[in-house]
Amino acid sequence: MDFPAGYGNRDVVDRAFAAANVPRSIIIEVPDLATGADFVLHQLGIAILPRFFIPHDPALHVMGIDGIDMRWPLTLATCPAREPTAATRAVLGMLDSYVPDIPGYHPAPAAVGYAS
C-alpha cells in the first residue's frame, strides 16, 4: 500500500527505494496518512509513515528503518503583516514538540504492520 504519485509521503518512499535499488509493487493507493494507518490497523497492508503519525495501538507492530535517508519536508508559512492567531500559535507550539531546533535533525521513519 502506498500513496498516489506526487504525494509527499510517496515521493519520500519512492526516492528511498530508488536509492537502494529495490524494486517494489504497489497494489493499492490511499489518499492520506490516516487512511493508510487504518488499512494497516485492519490488516490490509503495511505502510511506511512518519513516526509522529503512527497511531498508538497495541495491535500495531512498529519497526524502525535505519540507514536510509527518508526526510519528510515540512513548510509552514505565516503572514508577517499580522500577529499569529491563537490557533496558529498552538500549531507552532505543537511543531516545537515534534521537531527540535537542531540543524539537520530528522526523526527516523518507521514501517508499521499489524501484529498477529
At 49-106, the pLDDT tens digits run: 777 777 777 877 788 777 777 777 677 778 888 888 898 888 877 776 766 554 555 5
Domain residue ranges of the chain, discontinuous segments joined by +: 8-74+107-114
pTM here? 0.59
Higher pLDDT, 105 or 43: 43
The per-residue pLDDT for 59 is: 77
> Which of 50, 47, 69 shows the shortest CA–CA distance to 113?
47
Residue in 61, 74, 60, 77 with CA at minimum distance from that of residue 107: 74
Strand ranges in the chain using DSSP code E only, listed in sequence order: 47-49, 60-64, 110-114
pLDDT of 40 > 70? The answer is yes
Residue from 40, 106, 103, 96 nearest 73 by CA: 106
pLDDT score at 31: 87
Q: What is the pLDDT of residues 2-22, one digit of tens each?
A: 889 888 888 888 988 898 898
Among 11, 115, 116, 103, residue whose Cα is nearest residue 54: 115
